[in-house]
Structure 1
């Protein structure tokens, strides 16, 4: 019997939109496993980022930001995804933005506590708090909302104070064999990574509400003479959106393709050709069958 038994478990990361959950997971894993933009609700899926160190493997479960409302089927499914992610985990992590506690934070805390597992508090974006003396009263105030297993203030963007968080999470990982291969970084495949990269570039380039009406599916994947040929469809909800995504003379679509191709070629370390098409499925964010059909 080994003197150093393995430990492996899942820690779900919850919080309202734009508190930095995906940025935090990417920083902890050391690679980009979740796309990140400045716009709320960028994350739509349950994604597990994997941190394996020595005899311990931590599965960090990224979730969509919990938000009120949810009139669209897409919003409802995203909330369901986040809420359901507390099932079967060993630890819940509530991420809040330093200095800002809102009703949606309380909603996220309620979901985190519903899993019946310990809840850790992560106070993110501490580098933005001025004066710094205001941080401690805020942490004390949030600490009264729940009996947290631990509290870690940090800056995910600056990768500051991450190690104490890893040490705290490790304490709650049960003994057991690894759930994933020790060289895996995510539970998602390459096709998912390609689709999400395209959606990220669209979200960064397009304005207002349009990014929330976009979905991306990879439908062609072929390697010929060392060149990876990928085809992806960008789905929009109205004909008018199709023209915006394509842009004048196809300029917007070409720029999305260029940015996505450059990032994917770097991350995959291989030559690739990326073809993009834009198609319309009327009002798909309001159609639950369509939302689930697009993989949400």
Structure 2
């Protein structure tokens, strides 16, 4: 079922994200410096909206953790700006935390080409959202993140309802209260950013708030999955010269060894930072360090305790 544009407009007509901002009615007449300041200052409201939603984001991490620990996937679903932000978050998990590509799936209304060229009508297709979700064989072990600034996007709602039918955990992100994306998800995260300076352009602070919320959710989840030691990024792949240097610096910093010793151990373990840190601190072999990490479910802190 493709929801008509008219019906979609009727659903969203009175939403805060669609309401003109009365305090900037002469925006087109602002001097350029003032124009820039207004845009920048308005972004502060994105941070405030995410801070207000922090308890819901924490609840989402807690609910997602058991499924992800058991081997489930993170599946992002969205359209337009929201969908592209979901793609971005999913793609960055592998280089940052060595998260397997197959366990971070992003579905974007209009398909992969919509990442680069807007496919505006695709968001109105409820059935395609359900079909796209079914195509990745979602099941009860998965965590599905539904992203829609309005909270009414038919494509996202189709995927949401299909995810619930499959038993997956659903987490809905919306920039409007009392919208179905948040209300129908098991955990709804409302990012109340209000009206936009350019009326209806949710690529502004609504988009910023979604980016912050997704970063916070996925990074918090990765911390709980032992991808971080202290506040150090210790579970990444050293796939280029910059990352090799980073691996050496972090290993030396975390273990207290000099960089030469850190590099020597890293070379023995294929530049796996966790293994090198444990081997250096425990003064043991790479093989024993790997065994300690496996026994501690990947936690550097527990492995060296």
Q: TM-score, structure 2 length as denominator?
A: 0.33
Q: TM-score, structure 1 length as denominator?
A: 0.34
Compare the two structures and name the one with the higher helix fraction: 2
Bigger radius of gyration: 2
